[in-house]
Every structure is written in structure tokens, then in C-alpha cells.
Amino acid sequence: MKKLRPLLILLLMVLAMGATAQINTDRVMMIGRNALYFEDYVLSIQYFNQVIDAKPYLHAPYFFRGLAKLNLEDYQGAEQDCSEAIGRNPFVVDYYQLRGLARINQGRFQDAISDYNQALVHAPQNVGIWHNLILCKMREKDYDGARADVQQLLAFAPRYVPAYLMSAEVWMKQKDTLKAEADIAQALKLDKYNADVWSASAILHLQQERFQEAEEDLGQAIHLASMNVGNYINRALARYHQNNLRGAMSDYDQAVDMDPNNLIAHYNRGLLRAQVGDDNRAIEDFDRVIEMEPDNMMAIYNRGLLRDQTGNLRGAIEDYSAVLDEYPNFLAGYQQRATARRKSGDRRGAEKDEAILLKAEIDQRNAWAAGKQTNQMGKNVSEEKDEEEEEGSGKTRKKSNRNVKNYRKLVVADNEELQQKYKNEYRGKVQNRNVKVELEPMFVLTYYQKESEVKRTVAYHKMVDELNNAQVLGKRLYITNQETPLNQSQVEEHFASVDNYTKAIVEAPQRADLQFARALDLYLVQDLASAIDDLTQAILKDENFAPAYFNRALVRCKQLEYQRAEEAAEEAAHTQALQTKPELPTGRMGHVHEYELVRADLDKVIQLAPDFEYAYYNRAVLFCQQNDYHAAVVDFGKAIEVNPNFGEAYFNRGLTYIFLGQVKEGLADLSKAGEMGLFKAYNIIKRYTDEEGE
């Protein structure tokens, strides 16, 4: 019996370790899903790796890791993880959906179709699956199959607007513009506030060369989705066809401001600038295109022409030579280079180019004499005409067209780029965000913030300034509601920082600031429960430490958001509500106690720092989540009293007024928010102004 005791003890130890692993993997999985929900993809992968290492037979962590990889554009890795998940459990619809998206992003549409067909076996009325299946068939040019699927989708989702847009696109590809127009008209009837519908109508009108109507459609689309670069580029094209060069350039300016790397906007603006004699700025545009695409010969040739005109003969000759190396039969290039060489004093070089031109002319005459009609490039004229028809005649060319002779034509996106996007309803598949118009989020004290599309006032308070000056924290602390996910090095840095602060806390157990600092790191690595524990400890050590109360309220709210999202996703697993106006935020009675804890923390912050406007603002958002809109209006008002330039408070109070039916007051606040840089406010103003006028 004594001999068996060590073996028994060892067995008990192994069992105990197994039980611990069970608890730990559940917790790590939860933290990983938190990170995924809040778009910390790199961080979430680290957590899912831990779960997979501990329990490789589980299927869910592979799926969630695949989702994180998809959002990081690692499509091959995402597909592999989904396959691992399917191998362990082949009955989960989400796994096929996600693998289908990964395959789509690799251009493997038939494989994606296979995944969606398998998913439909388990969920025959899932709108998202049908949506992607139809788009895949369109990419495979199976238009009859796509149209049949649209009809099946509309049979159980007759108000699903994207189905009509996809149907319209199928008809356009089959050159039946009347039926396409009917589908778009039906989509507008269902939802006239959907920018995608107006964009689709504009594309149809552009194809029909009804440019004024296309411009009007795009004006509506821009009102409803002012940050869509493609709408400005398309409107510029419509204006260009109406000879409104100033208006076209204005749209290209806007597109470049919003997306400095947009090749089409730079190329086309360069052409228009050259057309109006703004040569130097046109050269800048072509420089940018060439920087992005060093082998873009049409941009190089255009720059050569402009350098020639501005007296930079050496640069012009370099550009002409680069083009002729790639297109040795491009006779116009030889003509331009010969002229530039002669102007620069290179008579021998000019004569060589002129000799090539003379030989081409003699060959042309001999061909005519032989009865064979050919063009400059040695091709049959009939063949050239066929090519031009494929490339598109007139003033434009497709982006993929590389015929250098089309250097003067404006670029338009290829059909594939104009196609509607594939649905990605995942964000951890733990939330269901159907509301298109949402309140601006709460503020938090953290180390990182997103760079805004427009410059806004920097959030400041002396309480945060004092924390930064104390030099206890690892980085500079910001007040922000625009958080940004961590990259790999930041993840590692904050895990290491947790360890360092743990040692410091052991050495100085009464210091609240050290506990607060570790809580910041734990929050950033999405360990929300541990962050709350540390913030609570900081408060116990210093009951007047306002930053700890403020962040604890925020972290508790994040936990509540995650829990509500999971519940909503479960309730709406196979339904999809289409909203055309803001929906009232909803609170859940099952979380009343947690809401009371959040409010108590914010009340304490306001007591300790009555001039801290962000506490009033966060409490107002909390009231909205509980449907107490009157109290929210009061608190947003207090935040504005403290800081009259608080754009987010104006925006949220405007929406809250609308929730209360006080549209006039709401529009006034939204207008103020728009002035302060929250441009999405204008989209909401547009909707309600139109409704008031009807």
C-alpha cells in the first residue's frame, strides 16, 4: 500500500492540474472573445493560441482565431483554421460562412459556393449566406443561377434591399437596363435613405450615358454617406462628361483628401490639371501614381509630356525612354522623344528616333500596296477595332487596361471593383448591430487613441495632467472615446508591464497609483475582470482617486456591452432587421444591478471632480442604455455647460432628442456637432429634414 501512495499522489496532482486547465481555458477563451469583440485582433490570437495549446480538440477557438486572422487579411490562415473547426464539428453554420469569406478573398469563388451550399443545408433562410452565394455566382458569370437565387432570397426576405441591387447588377451585366432600372426603383421604394441604392442608380445612369441623372444620384449618395470615396470619383466622371471640369476636379480633390493613396483620383486629376494648363500640379499627381505603381507606363508617358512642356527635357526623355523600352512599337513615343532630343541638342539621338518613324511609314505604305491594311503596331485594323470595343471607347478606359495609346483617357474602376461587397456580419459573432445610427461611445482613460479623419479638440483635464506628471504610468494617458487595437509589440509590452507593476505593488502595497497603472495594462490586454479587481483595490487604498472610479465605470460598461451583445446574437440568430432610421437603444432588466454599480462610480467622479465633463457625458450614455432619455438630456447638457465645444455631447444629445420625438431640438444639436467635425451628423439631418418636409 505504501508503494502505491506516491503513484496515487501523482494521479491526484494530474487530475488537479486538469481541473485548473479547464477553468483557465474557459477564462482565457472569454478574454480572447472580449479582445475579438473590441477589434483587438492580434491580442485575441494570443489568447486563442493558449486555448488551442491546452485543448487542441476544441473547435470554437479555431473558428475565433480564424475570424481574427480574416480581419487581419490573413485569408489562407483563416481558411485553415475554419477547416480545423469544421473537422472537429461539421454542423456549425458559422464555420462554413467564415471559410467562404476567406476563400472569396483568395478569389476561389467555386470553393466558397460549396461552403455556402453546405451552410444552407443547416440554415436555409440565412440572408447573409444567400447574399454571398449570389455574389459568388455573379463573379463566376453564372447569371441565371444568381437570378434564381435572388428570387429564392426574396421569397422569404421581400424587403431585403441588397437583393434588388444584386438583381439589378445581373440585369446590367446581361445588357437589360430596363429590368435593372425596375429593380433599383423597387429598392428606392423600400429604402430611399440607403446610399448604396443611389450609388447603384448612378452606375446604371453612367452606363446609359445619362450623366446629369448620374450626378444627381451621386449627390444623394454623398449626402447619405459622405465618407465614401467611390461616390466622389464617380460624380467627378459624371461631371467630366458634362464638361464641368471645375466640378470634377473638386470631387477628385475631395477623394484625394479622404484617401491620399487613391490611384484613380490622382491619375484623373492629373489629366484634368494638364487639360487646364496646371502642369506642375499635374506632374505632382502623376508622381504620386508612379510612386504607387512604378510600372504605370501611361502615367510615366503623361509625366513625360508635362516635363517636356515645362522645360525639363532630360526628365521628359527619361520618361519617354522608359515607355519605349516597354512598348517598342509605340510610334507617338518616338515622335515625342525625337522632338525633345532635338530641343536638348542631341541631334544623333533625334535622328535615330526619326529613322524608326520613317521605317514604320515605309512599312505601312508597303502593306497598303500589298493590299493588307495594318495599323502602326502591325495589327489588322479589324483586330484593333475589336480591342477598342473591349477596352471601352470614348473618354474613359478601365483601370486594368494597359494599352499605352489610351494615356489621355480617364480611368474608371473595373467591374469587379464596382461590385457590391461581400457580407461580413462577424465581429466575434457575439453582437448584432442592426442600428445604423448609434450614439458616440463613452470616454476612457487609456494610452492609445485613433487618429481622427478630421482634427478635433484634444480632450484635457487637470486630473489626467497630474497623473501624467507623476511619471508613474508607462506612457502618456489620454482621454478618448476613439480607442485603437494593440499591435504585436504593444501586446508583449503590456503583458510585461503587468509583471513589472505586480512586483512594484508587492514592494509598495498601499500605493493606489500602482494598482491603477496595472489596471490600465490589464484593460488594454482585454482582461476586464482583473482590471476591475485592480481598480477596486486602488479605490480601497484611496477613496478619493477619481480616475479609478471613472475607468471602473467604463470597464463595467464594456462587460455589459459584451454580455448584451451575446444575448442579442442568440435571440436574433436567424433574423435580420433592416433599419432606415435610428432605433432606440435598449437596456436589459437583467443587468439592473450592474448599471447601478456603473452609475455609482460616475456619481462619485462627479462629486470628486464636478468640472470633469466626461463623467457627465458617460453617465448620460448610461442613461440612454437604460432608456432614461430625459435624464440623459440633462447630463449631456451639463457636459456642454462645462465644455461648450464638446461635439460628441451635442451629437448624442441631438440623437436623444430625436428618440424623445423632439426632432427640431435634435437637428439643432446635430448641426452643432457637424460644425465641430462629426460629419456623420449631416446624414441624420438629411433624413429627418426630408421626413419633416413630406
DSSP, residue by residue, 505-550 = HHHSTT-HHHHHHHHHHHHHTT-HHHHHHHHHHHHHH-TT-HHHHH
How far is CA 534 from each of CA 94, 476, 492, 516, 560, rounded to the nearest angstrom? 36, 20, 20, 7, 18
**pLDDT at position 144, please?**
94
Q: Which of 18-32, 98-112, 414-428 has the lowest mean pLDDT?
A: 414-428
pLDDT band, residue 581 (cuts 50/70/90)? very low
**pLDDT at position 691, please?**
54
Quote the CA–CA distance of 120 and 506 in Å, as a whole number: 56
Specify the DSSP element, H or E, that contains 446.
strand 444-446
DSSP secondary structure letter of residue 429: S
- Highest mean pLDDT among 393-407, 440-454, 595-609 belongs to 595-609
- Closest of 162, 171, 170, 174 to residue 199, by C-alpha: 162
- Residue 468: strand, helix, or coil: helix
**pLDDT at position 100, please?**
96
Instruction: Judge contact between 165 and 183, C-beta under 8 A.
Output: yes
207 contact partners, CB below 8 Å, separation of at least 6: 172, 177
- Record the cell numbers describing residue 465, joined without a space: 495632467
- Closest of 387, 386, 362 to residue 376, by C-alpha: 362
- Beta bridge partners, 479, equal 445
| Residue the block writes with cell 443545408 | 121
Quote the CA–CA distance of 371 and 400 in Å, as a whole number: 34
For the stretch 167-196, pLDDT in tens is: 999 999 999 999 999 999 999 999 999 999
| Residue the block writes with cell 493590299 | 371
Instruction: Judge contact between 594 and 207, C-beta under 8 A.
Output: no
Quote the CA–CA distance of 82 and 486 in Å, as a whole number: 24
Quote the CA–CA distance of 640 and 171 in Å, as a whole number: 52
| Intra-chain end-to-end CA distance of the chain, in Å | 91
Quote the CA–CA distance of 39 and 45 in Å, as a whole number: 11
Mean pLDDT of 135-157: 95
Quote the CA–CA distance of 137 and 167 in Å, as a whole number: 12
- Record the cell numbers describing residue 54, joined without a space: 491546452
Q: Label residue 16 exposed, middle or buried (CB < 10 Å: 0-12, 13-18, 19+).
A: exposed
pLDDT band, residue 426 (cuts 50/70/90)? low
**pLDDT at position 402, please?**
76
- Which of residues 83 and 19 earns the better pLDDT score? 83
Quote the CA–CA distance of 524 and 42 in Å, as a whole number: 12
**pLDDT at position 441, please?**
93
Quick check: 623 pLDDT over 80? yes
60 half-sphere exposure, CB direction, 13 A CA radius: 12
- Record the cell numbers describing residue 506, joined without a space: 508587492
For the stretch 653-689, pLDDT in tens is: 999 999 999 989 998 999 888 888 787 787 777 767 6
Share the mean pLDDT of the chain.
Answer: 85
pLDDT band, residue 228 (cuts 50/70/90)? confident
- Pairing relationship of beta strands 410-412 and 396-398 according to DSSP bridges: parallel
- Record the cell numbers describing residue 117, joined without a space: 451550399
User: Helix 41-54 to helix 60-71 angle, to the nearest 10 degrees?
Assistant: 160
What residue type is 431 in one-letter code?
A: Q
Task: Identify the CATH number of the domain defined by range 444-560+585-693.
Answer: 1.25.40.10
**pLDDT at position 590, please?**
54
Quick check: 390 pLDDT over 70? no
**pLDDT at position 17, please?**
40
- Record the cell numbers describing residue 388, joined without a space: 477598342
365 half-sphere exposure, CB direction, 13 A CA radius: 5
Quote the CA–CA distance of 46 and 501 in Å, as a whole number: 21
Q: Which of 6-10, 177-181, 491-495 has the lowest mean pLDDT?
A: 6-10
Quote the CA–CA distance of 108 and 178 in Å, as a whole number: 32
The torsion angles phi and psi of 254, rounded to 5 degrees, stand at: -65, -40
Quick check: 400 pLDDT over 80? no
Q: Label residue 280 exposed, middle or buried (CB < 10 Å: 0-12, 13-18, 19+).
A: exposed
Locate all alpha helices (DSSP H) within 225-278, ordered by sequence. Answer: 229-241, 245-258, 263-275
pLDDT band, residue 497 (cuts 50/70/90)? very high
| Residue the block writes with cell 452606375 | 203
Quote the CA–CA distance of 313 and 200 in Å, as a whole number: 45
- Closest of 52, 133, 43 to residue 88, by C-alpha: 52
DSSP secondary structure letter of residue 666: H
**pLDDT at position 1, please?**
44
Quick check: 4 pLDDT over 80? no
